[in-house]
Structure 1
């Protein structure tokens, strides 16, 4: 690392600022006095700085750490600066002390009320600010201090996003659930969003809903995720601790952003990867953001059962897996599918015990369309071999197995495995072919980035 140094970026992957602090209070025993409460603030600052440190500099050499200004005695990544930004915004706001107190108490789960110790809400926040100010300032100029900030400054506030946050807070009043926070708390939250900053109002709204264990319907959850994306927040900031009323598992619902099922598992294979329970378990637990828990296991199980219950010969199953994963000669195809099914059932017993696996009828309307694409590629790769130096498998065996899947089992599964085979063989594609694949993926209801896994194969025109 020589010459001019670019700003170093570290993003939080969970809640941060004042809402992150209230989370620490809500998840801890009630402090016995003001000193203990401020001690909890210090613990939170230390924990966040350490988390940023581990994520950010562990991979750097000693020289690189020196260039970045890293000091082992104190990392100085600056979470205190971000907390101060939220705190000072409230202290300097036109909100009444009682409104600030209502928001703090609700977000912190009621475990710490400054009024019980002779302090106003503003006095308490000033003590928090003093605790933050006593720490060394951020050492790395230009670091992105929080997902909602760019180059140390909050992005310009659009009236639209402010209005959307306020609308979400107001809509909470229409719910009849007894677990909702008080109308005064909701009014105070609305003031934070409207008169202080919509980002802070949004994060505190989430903390209040989590602290009160308010169950959120899926439609509202989706709106929260959309708002979080607009603020630049990571999905776990919304997810962690939120009680979501998930819809029942349904393998016909296509809500994964990327690949899924058996084709996704094949895409995880790499040089050190093994066909074992641990790898299957990772895939079975890989629910996408916004998916009902157990979704990944359910679709993977359905793919495995389709092939297990089919008339596809054992050798063809093995060749199919080899072509999709580039892992020839490692395992018997049907034994592998049985292991997959076993692990998926295990995961579903934990995540969705009421779910009964059902293999839905195949969607056959696109069989001819997918078959044309498979045959066009098959004619161009007849002389290719999967793993030519290790249990070689003729590509013709793989393509024949794909044809069987497309015409006799499930065109959807066949097309997803076909895309994986294209990756294995590095088959050059024309833009016209890729456009057709995208159209097929759209008709199957695939996520935004599913087919784009093969866009790097498109030859420059």
Structure 2
């Protein structure tokens, strides 16, 4: 009976889940006040936008069940243990957040910023479980899945490039498409796909109105086992019904 109840709760939770892990934190850019970027908005450094962003790492632990909360640690380690340079990580982060928080502006590389996020996440997890040790990262490296994600990237490559390099506000994410491809091939196909989704949604890049392309977006989400709305929510779907 207990297992059935837990399964029911999990299903109900999935109805409201629109992102997970590192890309969930990136999605919080919409709730960050843009005025927080002004130096006099918060007179104390610990009250500034950097602290606000790091707070989301702790919120992720309270927001999700244990498996989804653990996804944040997995995502961070998938990137940190990869061969990706810090600038590539910075680029995909900028795109996922509309350039609202640039690690460079705070004297950090992309890798340093990820470590700060991980520190905040671990500190919150260990409040409940002092002996907690994260599992080693388990990146998705299946070549067929990698190529499937690369192909979907190519369907929106040009409009995504233009949108990310010429945003109406925020720091531009120059070189986004090759950066996403590197995440997919050098780090993790799953995380690379979620970073693509986050960038496409952030810049409201239209999905080609051929039906087939939208179907490929959704099918990939199903193959990765995402909750229902992770792909669908916020996607600028231009299908012809």
Instruction: Compute the TM-score of the two structures, normalised by the length of structure 2.
Output: 0.74
What's the counterpart of residue 118 of structure 1? Answer: 107
User: Equivalents in 1 of 2:96, 2:56: separation in Å?
Assistant: 18
Q: Alignment partner for residue 33 of structure 2, among 29, 35, 38?
A: 29
Of structures 1 and 2, the one with the larger relative CO (CA 8 A, separation 6+) is 2
Runs of 5+ in structure 2 lacking a partner? 38-44, 130-134, 166-172
What's the counterpart of residue 94 of structure 1? Answer: 83
Residues 244-303 of structure 1: per-residue CA shift (max 9 Å, x gap): 11315xxxxxxxxxxxxxxxxxxxxxxxxxxxxxxxxxxxxxxxxxxxxxxxxxxxxxxx
Q: Alignment partner for residue 82 of structure 1, among 71, 83, 88?
A: 71
User: 1:44 Cα shift?
Assistant: 5.6
Give matches, 1:25-424, under 5 Å. 25-30=29-34, 31-32=36-37, 35-43=48-56, 45-46=58-59, 49-50=62-63, 52=65, 77=66, 79-137=68-126, 154=138, 157-174=141-158, 178-179=162-163, 184-217=175-208, 218-248=211-241
Change (3 A) 1:177 1:127: closer
User: 1:103 Cα shift?
Assistant: 0.4
8 Å CA contact 2:25–2:56 kept in 1: the answer is: no
**What number of residue pairs does the alignment pair up?**
211
Change (3 A) 1:199 1:7: farther
Runs of 4+ in 1 over 6 A off after TM superposition: none
Change (3 A) 1:49 1:167: same
User: 1:161 Cα shift?
Assistant: 1.0
Structure number with the higher helix fraction is 2
SS at 2:207's partner residue? strand
RMSD between aligned residues? 3.2
SS at 1:244's partner residue? coil
Instruction: Compute the TM-score of the two structures, normalised by the length of structure 1.
Output: 0.41
User: 1:91 Cα shift?
Assistant: 1.7
User: Equivalents in 2 of 1:241, 1:107: separation in Å?
Assistant: 13
User: 1:18 Cα shift?
Assistant: 0.7
User: Equivalents in 1 of 2:61, 2:122: separation in Å?
Assistant: 16
Change (3 A) 1:175 1:45: same
Runs of 5+ in structure 1 lacking a partner? 53-76, 140-150, 249-461
